[in-house]
Structure 1
């Protein structure tokens, strides 16, 4: 596997990989929160790849969405949210992810 070059935009809001722009994770995430969300994301992506039936794959994709929203990579732009909204975003995502047991 070749290593891809990742660039960051000057404002820190975007990553550019192979010419494609992706929203960066919220830099205000505490390290423990980031680690938990990334753990959920990894497990959910694995479940998408190994899902035995359409319902399992759909549930795993929903967990990917929750984790990426918690990270600030999807949903409302983290740079447009105040600190309270940002905190509420990741707490809600973690609560939902923890409740799924995924």
Structure 2
């Protein structure tokens, strides 16, 4: 069982080992958030494989997918708490669309 993450009082960040990281947008529907997390983890695995293979092009492509997934989750880019509901929905949907085109 995964322990509940500590959040800052405003809910904008999680605290892991004393370091703040931007929290995932809590308004992303659970199925979409789970799919984005799966795509993020696959991209991170691909970064590692590319590094082991010393394949710079594959590494760049995988890192771009990591960035897309983290942006779609609201962990990068314009903070989700500064976006309208429509902008937030568009952000995660655009991320899912782009990542699906790169092979889901």
Q: TM-score, normalised by structure 1?
A: 0.92
Match of residue 54 from structure 1? 56
Cα contact 1:4–1:18 (8 A) shared by 2: no
1:24 aligns with 2:23: yes
Moved over 4 A (4+): 3-6
Match of residue 35 from structure 1? 34
Look up the SS of the partner of 1:62 in the other structure. helix
Looking at structure 2, the residues matched to 5 and 50 of structure 1 have their Cα atoms a distance apart, in angstroms, of: 30
Q: 1:88 aligns with which of 64, 74, 90?
A: 90
Cα deviation digits, residues 30-76 of structure 1 (max 9, x gap): 01100110010010000000013000011000000000000000000
Cα deviation digits, residues 6-44 of structure 1 (max 9, x gap): 421011100111121100000001011001100100100
Look up the SS of the partner of 1:28 in the other structure. coil
Looking at structure 2, the residues matched to 29 and 66 of structure 1 have their Cα atoms a distance apart, in angstroms, of: 15
Q: TM-score, normalised by structure 2?
A: 0.90
Match of residue 65 from structure 1? 67
Looking at structure 2, the residues matched to 5 and 67 of structure 1 have their Cα atoms a distance apart, in angstroms, of: 22
Match of residue 75 from structure 1? 77
